[in-house]
Amino acid sequence: MNVFSALAAPWPALTTTTSTTRKAEEAAAASVAPSRSSAGEVLGNTLGKDDFLRLLVTQLTYQDPINPISDQEFIAQLAQFSALEQMYNVSQQVKRLADIQLLTGGMGQAASLLGRTVVVFDAQKGDTFEGVVEAVRMEEGMPMLVIGERRFSLYDVVEVRGGA
């Protein structure tokens, strides 16, 4: 088994059948060395898109000119890299969407408490505090309820009572 097969183990279809030289194997191993532990296991159990691209470039750099990688194998690897890139982009967009939903959902919940009496846990005193929600503010991505001169996190609310 060559170094490409060992490094591509999480992606079974990435295994290549072209012959590589010892120099190519050493270069490929060195190119991903920072992301591998001394036992040879991948840190975090995943190879990233940068690791995959480095492997592909190293494979192309050191391929045997007499027996180059076939067009079909090369196209398959490019397609896999493209799919990997798209999965990463979708993952980032889903994360962004979840953050926005949390932000707007929390603000909506906090706004629904305007004019209502709430009981919140006061971490400074270790006791509860009761008051009417006068305003809602966003501070550092967290919805804050303004009760009199004090501010409390929406997540400190322990009870909600009817309007004032």
Domain residues of the chain, as ranges? 3-80, 112-163
Distances (CA, A) of 51 to 16, 57, 60, 131, 138: 16, 10, 14, 55, 40
The pTM for the full model equals 0.42
Among the residue ranges 31-35, 62-66, 118-122, the one predicted with the least confidence is 31-35
Higher pLDDT, 27 or 6: 27
Q: Give pLDDT, residue 107.
A: 84
Q: Give pLDDT, residue 100.
A: 83
The β-bridge relationship of strands 142-147 and 150-153 is antiparallel
* CATH architecture assigned to 112-163: Roll (2.30)
User: What is the rounded average pLDDT of the residues 82-86?
Assistant: 86
